[in-house]
Amino acid sequence: MGHDSHGRDMLELLDMLESQVAEGRRVLLSNRIMVDEGEFMAILDQLRVSIPTEVKQARRVLQERQKIIIDAQTEATRIITMAKERSEYLVSQHGVTAEARYRGEDSLRDARDKANRSMSAIDKYARERLENVEKVIRDNLAEIERAKGSMSQA
C-alpha cells in the first residue's frame, strides 16, 4: 500500500477514525457520539491525501496484472501453437508410417496370395502330368503283362 507524507495508509487512517468513534463520548438518549473535531478532521485530511496515492498504486497493480494476463495468454497461445504443430507433425509422420505399413502389408498379402495360387496351379499341373505318366506307365505295364502272358502261352 502507498504511504502519504505522514507514513500512514488508508486502512490505518480508517482504523484511526473508527477508534475516534469507539472512544468518543455518547450523547444521552441518542445514537450520537462526540469526537474531537480537530483530530477527526486531521485524519480526514490525511485520508484525502492518501487516496490519490492509493488509487495510483491500485491502477499500477491493475496494469501489472493486465500485463501478466496478456503475457500469460501470449505464452499460452505460443505453447498451444507449438503443441498443434508438433501433434500435426506426429500425426502426419504416424499417418505416413501407418499408410506405408498398410500398403506394404497389403502388397505382401497380394504377393502371398499370388504365390499360393501359382503354387496351386503348379501343383495341379504337376499332379495332372504325374497322373498322365502314371497312366502311361500302367498302360505300358499292362501291355508288358499281356506280352509276357502271350509269350508264356506260346
> pLDDT at position 4, please?
42
CA 13 – CA 23 distance, rounded (Å): 15
Average pLDDT of the chain to the nearest whole number: 84
Share of the chain above pLDDT 90, in %: 19
> pLDDT at position 2, please?
44
Q: What are φ and ψ of residue 34, in 5° steps?
A: -100, 130
> pLDDT at position 99, please?
78
> pLDDT at position 154, please?
65
At 56-74, the pLDDT tens digits run: 888 888 899 999 999 999 9
> pLDDT at position 149, please?
80
Cell triple for residue 128? 495332372
Cell triple for residue 13? 487512517
In eight-state DSSP terms, residue 27 is: P
Q: Which of the two residues, 13 and 6, has the higher pLDDT score?
A: 13
In eight-state DSSP terms, residue 30 is: S
> pLDDT at position 124, please?
84
